[in-house]
């Protein structure tokens, strides 16, 4: 024991031990960044391999869907053929109607591809003619309005002029319904995306997972999430994929989320924090809209109550008295 203490307390041993500790600390200081760099490179290689796997899987899925749609006779981006294409080419309707605004509206309505653009331009011209002849047949053959033939002709012309706006009304109605479906399911989709990102999944994998899970609640949102997943895998600029999602939906809530994701990737801020904030805001917006609709319900029920409930109430209250009075007179 004395020899051990003497050895430990020996100045030469203490100097040697301190020198060994300094050498170990120096080696650790030099080697640790190299080890961390190797781990980072390995992680980046794993992410690149995972992204290539996702890309190959997505290509296989799109190829199988394309084969199924081509077998069933309908494709997402089918080439327009037939009578509609001939009419559009002969009347040169593309120069008159085809523009970026039309394409954006059709995308928001869920109508993609050249076939839908050709069909819309064809019906912009054909709808007034079809409705005009239908109105003529209805007014002169089916229904006798009692007016003179000239008045019936003017009414048919007016119906034909209104038919010019029927395709636009159809697209606007479809856009509103689709936006409403996406808007109702968007906060829940953000919550699921936040869970996926916090669990360690990438944004692409999170979009793909949410697209599969949200399909039971909103098919439209599932379609948009799947398209965004494909664009995140294929496009070189990820910001373009987020911008395309905002343009296809046309909703302020979706645009705010895509802007937050773009800024998070540009400046390196945590994506989970941005998603948590956006999810909270969208839930509050949905709750405020529900409260606004509930507050607007009593004024809307005033007229039906006056028209339908009050007459019945008066009959029930005054009916027995009126019957008794009539019997007393007899």
Angle in degrees, CA 124, 223, 176, rounded to 5: 45
Residue 171 lies in a domain: no
Confidence grade of residue 251 (pLDDT, cut at 50, 70, 90): confident
Count of C-beta atoms within a 10 Å radius of residue 201: 15
Q: What average pLDDT does this structure show over 160-177? A: 90
Question: What pLDDT does 173 receive?
Answer: 92
Phi, psi of 73 (to 5 degrees): 95, 0
Residues 142 and 246 in one domain: no
Residue 51 lies in a domain: no
Domain end among 144, 164, 184: 164
Residue 102 lies in a domain: yes
Q: What is the pTM of this model?
A: 0.63
CB 175 within 8 A of CB 251: no
Instruction: Round to whole Å and give the CA distance between 113 and 173.
Output: 19
Residues 144 and 206 in one domain: no
Question: What pLDDT does 59 receive?
Answer: 64
Residues 139 and 97 in one domain: yes
Domain end among 141, 164, 187: 164
Residues 140 and 218 in one domain: no
Instruction: Round to whole Å and give the CA distance between 77 and 255.
Output: 26
Closest C-alpha to 186, from 255, 240, 107? 255
Residue 303 lies in a domain: no
Q: How many domains does the chain have?
A: 2
Residues 180 and 275 in one domain: yes
Mean per-residue pLDDT over the chain, rounded: 78
Q: Does pLDDT of 55 surpass 80?
A: no
Residue 262 lies in a domain: yes
Residues 230 and 277 in one domain: yes
Confidence grade of residue 65 (pLDDT, cut at 50, 70, 90): low
Residue 75 lies in a domain: no
Q: H helices within 164-218, ranges in order?
A: 166-198, 203-213
Residues 193 and 241 in one domain: yes
Q: What average pLDDT does this structure show over 29-49? A: 54
Question: What pLDDT does 76 receive?
Answer: 45
Residues 183 and 284 in one domain: yes
Closest C-alpha to 261, from 278, 284, 236? 278
Domain that holds residue 236: 176-292
Question: What pLDDT does 226 receive?
Answer: 86
Domain end among 164, 191, 207: 164
Residues 239 and 271 in one domain: yes
Q: How many helices (H) and strands (E) does the chain have?
A: 14, 0
Question: What pLDDT does 9 receive?
Answer: 65
Q: Is 322 exposed, middle or buried (0-12, 13-18, 19+ CB in 10 A)?
A: exposed
Confidence grade of residue 61 (pLDDT, cut at 50, 70, 90): low
CB 120 within 8 A of CB 84: no
Residues 186 and 90 in one domain: no
Residue 182 lies in a domain: yes
Residues 133 and 110 in one domain: yes
The 10s digit of each residue's pLDDT in 302-326 is 888 888 888 888 888 888 888 888 8
Residues 92 and 132 in one domain: yes
Q: Which region among 41-50, 171-180, 260-269 has the lowest average model confidence (pLDDT)?
A: 41-50
Residue 212 lies in a domain: yes
Q: What average pLDDT does this structure show over 180-205? A: 87
The 10s digit of each residue's pLDDT in 108-150 is 888 877 888 888 888 888 888 999 899 888 888 877 777 788 8
């Amino acid at each position: 024991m004395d020899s051990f203490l003497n050895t430990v307390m020996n100045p030469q041993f203490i100097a040697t031990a301190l020198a060994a500790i300094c050498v170990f600390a120096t080696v650790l200081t030099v080697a640790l960044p190299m080890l961390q760099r190797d781990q980072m490179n390995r992680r980046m290689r794993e992410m690149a391999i995972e992204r290539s796997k996702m890309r190959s899987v997505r290509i296989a899925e799109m190829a199988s869907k394309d084969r199924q749609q081509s077998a069933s006779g309908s494709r997402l981006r089918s080439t327009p053929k037939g009578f509609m294409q001939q009419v559009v080419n002969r009347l040169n309707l593309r120069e008159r109607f085809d523009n970026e605004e039309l394409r954006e509206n059709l995308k928001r309505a869920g109508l993609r591809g050249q076939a839908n653009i050709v069909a819309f331009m064809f019906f912009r011209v054909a709808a007034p003619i079809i409705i005009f002849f239908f109105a003529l047949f209805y007014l002169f053959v089916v229904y006798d309005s009692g007016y003179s033939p000239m008045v019936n002709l003017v009414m048919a012309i007016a119906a034909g002029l209104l038919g010019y706006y029927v395709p636009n009304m159809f697209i606007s109605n479809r856009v509103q319904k689709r936006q409403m479906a996406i808007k109702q399911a968007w906060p829940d989709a953000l919550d699921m995306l936040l869970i996926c990102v916090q669990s360690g999944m990438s944004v692409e994998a999170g979009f793909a997972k949410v697209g599969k899970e949200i399909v039971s609640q909103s098919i439209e949102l599932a379609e948009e999430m799947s398209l965004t997943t494909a664009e995140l895998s294929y496009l070189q600029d990820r910001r373009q994929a987020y911008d395309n999602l905002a343009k296809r939906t046309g909703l302020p809530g979706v645009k705010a989320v895509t802007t937050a994701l773009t800024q998070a990737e540009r400046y390196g801020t945590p994506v989970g924090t941005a998603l948590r904030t956006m999810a909270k805001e969208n839930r509050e917006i949905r709750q405020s809209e529900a409260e606004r609709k509930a507050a607007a319900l009593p004024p809307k029920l005033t007229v039906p109550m006056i028209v339908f409930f009050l007459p019945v109430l008066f009959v029930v209250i005054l009916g027995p008295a009126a019957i008794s009075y009539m019997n007393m007179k007899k």
